[in-house]
Structure 1
Amino acid sequence: MPSNTDISKLKELYESLDRLKESGEDVVAEIRKEINNIELQYLKENLFPEMMKTLSRKISWLRCSVDMNLQFNGEKQLDYSFCKSGSTVFIRDKYECNCPNEDILEESEMDSNNLEIITSTSNQTDAHDTPKRSKTYTLRVEFPNGKVFQGNVVSDTYVAVIKEINPEKVDSVGLSHAGVAVVSQTLDSKYAKYQKPIGGGWYVMTNSSTKAKGFDLKTISDELELELKISLVPLNNSEEAIPIMGISESERHRIRVTFLDGRTICPMKVLEALVEVVKYAGVDRVRELGINCCADNLILKNPAPRYKKLCKPVGNGWLCNTCSDTITKFNQITEISQKLNLGIKVELV
């Protein structure tokens, strides 16, 4: 969590930026760099962990899956949208952040002051307390021909299954973690140590949880119609294996687009809906909108290596970055339609 000094420093940097912003970018470039570093630390170590803690307490008892998107415009307004499994209703709303900056800074500083006390208290255990251990699972994957992959090292099982399936086929599914494709022929500068070679120039991204790996394999199985049986198996054999169930057709959200001429598309892969709308609207016009995706324009020609596989051609040498979730793609299509007055109907189904 940022210290008092960091938070006070950020406030001072904001004030300096306001004073000097008319002096030219060369004057404020270093200030912006410092601001970016402290903001990133604050979001990573302070804001989102607390948000997730609060959200988990409120949502953990529910039995539905939820797909959500959150955007903050830097000017006191939060936009959020979500949908849940089993429902075609798409909720979108705004929230005005009315808390004065001084109150926020004071609260952050109090949190920082109390951090050491909170940490030391949470680590104390009574003589009669028994430390709770998290359950540890491994993956078991069974192919229709009876071939089984299972080992104590989850990453090894994950990599072996992907190699068995064929990395080119897996690549077509378009899965990624931390902006890095699950299978790739390029090593990422940040996550290279998590990319395991499987031959033929292919690497498998293993920086994900055991459950995420299981869901990846289930998604791959469903998309490629492999009929794999995937389950989580407790290492201590304390309970039965837990099968990983895929998302049913009724729960898998898709984007339906109806054009002015009456033509309707609702592809199984939501990225295809986005690509089709970009082509329909005109790639140059969409690029001029400046829609942000992965810290760059949605429409680009030279994507970072980690996004290259996820960028799809849309004409005139341009690519569309499809590295985003369903809700984000829905919002992108809606924004394109509204700003370019396309008059198309966009639905999440």
Structure 2
Amino acid sequence: MADIIKVTFPDGTEFCYKSSVNTVIAVLRKLGKERYPEINFTLGSRRVVSQVYEPKLKRYLKEITDGWYYFNQNDTKGKTNQLINLNRQFDLGMKIEVGAFKGTPDPSIPGSTRSKKRLVVTMPDGGVINHESYRDVLADCIYRLGPHRVYNKANIVLTKNQDLLSPTNPNGNRFKLDETLYMLMPYSTKEAMTILRIIAKRLNENISVEYLPMSNQ
């Protein structure tokens, strides 16, 4: 049996998933996103916790919550060191153990939203975008269409007269699409579906956007 991580908080909360990445994400969610900007350790040149979504790295990006991502490109030892650093930085008082623990079952769809529906997009070239999170699907689709093309020809006004895409991020509630554009995330899978259909129509792109039941995994 491979070693996994077990984390116990002073209040008795314990996280010990069969996959260590889910244990790390559970700890980050308990920490709270208001503290994420303070987490500045990196893997290579990339921050481990950030709002930057890069489709080319999608296999390594796990959504924590609301547009914040964990860069999952290290082993159990590396994740353990990250948890130790978090513990020291925020004085969390966690007990961090590594061993052949039984572990609780992993979440069936880590990083997904509460929605029981998923977003699936088929691009004009036949490529299918079908990530665990509708936010990742939306970001990936816009990335493939060209963020600046969407910004210039198909931008959409969302709630409170805020544009979907913007060159600025004054409230810090957007995540970075590229070096010059930020995106405001919709609050539901259905809203993301509507946004993509409007964008496809404005760009005259033959894109299939489906709103399907969540698969059982």
Normalised TM-score (structure 1)? 0.31
Structure number with bigger Rg = 1
TM-score, structure 2 normalization = 0.47
